[in-house]
Each structure stands twice: as C-alpha cells, then as structure tokens.
C-alpha cells in the first residue's frame, strides 16, 4: 500500500516536474498538480500554533474544479502529525476561520477577498496567485518563471498570522517580503 502510494506519488511529482520544466500557455493539469503538491509541502515547512483537540488539518481552496480535483488527489490518505488532511471549500467567513491553509485561485479574488479578510489575523496560511496577492495581505504568492512554478513569501503576513516559516522554505522562495535583518 505504502509502496503503491509512493509510486503514485512519484509519478505525480514526475508529472509536476515535467509540467514545470516544459513550457505551458495556460494553467494546465500539471500546473494544478504541482501547486497542489506545493500546498501539501508547505505544511512541512510552516509551523502552526498548537490547536488542541482538532483532529483534522483543513486545507481550504477557493478555486476551479480542476485544481480542487488535483488537490483532492494530492491530499488523499495524507496526514500531518496524526491529523487527517481534509479539503474544504469554505462558504462563509466562519468556515474559513477553521482552515489551516487558504488557497485562492486566479479569477476567484472577489469571492476570496472577504474570506481572506476574515482570517487576516488568524493562524491561516494564505496562498494565492501572482505578486499582487502579497500586496493584498497574502502570505505566499505563486508565479511562473520559465514555466516553472515558484513563489514569493511575505514574512510580515506570516508573523501577523502567528505562523513560523522554515528558513528552508524562505530559501527556495524567490523573494521574501518583510524580512528582518
């Protein structure tokens, strides 16, 4: 089971890598898979404040169906420190407050704005598309560089949310805003 999962995962990563390496005009399935994997990988480099009694680790996504499908595949059967990973599509600010990660896909800014505002001071890792996302108060913003998925990090936003970001993650980010010297 584990071996099979590893093979599947490996294939996924390979596909993502290939997608990232190859030129792409629109956000393809590969791009969605890579971003979904990155979302999962962020959980390993970001430290949330302890949340007692919460058995689920909610990854909320406000995005198109294709991305949601990719994310569901990625998170299937995964867990973090004994907490089951669950994908959620938050409909209200109340729901949004229970998310650990909040992804807002491109084209979903309007719908996502109130949700983002609701979790602004909560320990929720906010991930969005493009450099302007950070300007709107987001923590991590994806962008494409030579057909490769990369990201910027706002350390200020992370600190405001009470999240600790690993230096390793900072290192692979293109730019880091609010970095204290």
Interface residues with another protein (CB under 8 A)?
A: 2, 6, 9-10, 13-14, 16-17, 20, 34, 38, 41, 44-45, 148-151, 166, 168-169, 171-172
Of 16 and 61, which has the nearer Cβ to another protein? 16
User: What are the CA-CA distances from residue 177 to residues 8, 121, 165 (Å)?
Assistant: 35, 18, 12
Taking the complex as a whole, the smallest distance from the CB of residue 161 to another protein amounts, in Å, to: 20
Q: Is 40 helix (H, G, I), strand (E, B) or coil?
A: helix
Of 167 and 180, which has the nearer Cβ to another protein? 167
Taking the complex as a whole, the smallest distance from the CB of residue 89 to another protein amounts, in Å, to: 25
Taking the complex as a whole, the smallest distance from the CB of residue 163 to another protein amounts, in Å, to: 16
Count of CB atoms situated within 10 Å of the CB of 125: 24
Of 5 and 132, which has the nearer Cβ to another protein? 5
How much is the CA Rg of the chain, to the nearest whole Å?
A: 15
Terminal-residue alpha carbon distance, the chain = 46
Q: What is the DSSP letter of 39?
A: H
Q: Kindly state the tokens that stand for 30.
A: 């590969």
Q: Is 111 helix (H, G, I), strand (E, B) or coil?
A: helix
Of 10 and 51, which has the nearer Cβ to another protein? 10
Taking the complex as a whole, the smallest distance from the CB of residue 6 to another protein amounts, in Å, to: 5
Instruction: Give the CA angle between residues 14, 74, 68 to the nearest 5°.
Output: 115
Taking the complex as a whole, the smallest distance from the CB of residue 26 to another protein amounts, in Å, to: 20
């Amino acid at each position: 089971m584990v071996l099979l999962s590893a093979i599947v995962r490996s294939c996924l990563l390979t596909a993502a890598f290939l997608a990232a390496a190859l030129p792409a005009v629109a956000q393809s399935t590969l791009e969605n898979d890579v971003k979904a994997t990155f979302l999962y990988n962020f959980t390993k480099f970001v430290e949330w404040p302890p949340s007692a009694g919460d058995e689920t680790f909610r990854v909320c996504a406000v995005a198109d169906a294709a991305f949601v499908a990719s994310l569901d595949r990625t998170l299937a059967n995964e867990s973090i420190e004994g907490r089951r990973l669950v994908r959620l599509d938050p409909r209200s600010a109340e729901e949004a407050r229970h998310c650990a990660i909040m992804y807002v896909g491109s084209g979903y800014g309007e719908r996502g704005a109130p949700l983002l505002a609701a979790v602004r001071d909560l320990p929720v890792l906010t991930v969005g598309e493009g450099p302007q996302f950070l300007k709107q108060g987001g923590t991590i913003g994806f962008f494409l560089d030579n057909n490769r998925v990369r990201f910027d990090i706002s350390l200020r936003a992370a600190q405001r949310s009470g999240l600790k970001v690993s230096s390793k993650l900072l290192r692979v980010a293109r730019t880091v805003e609010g970095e204290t010297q």
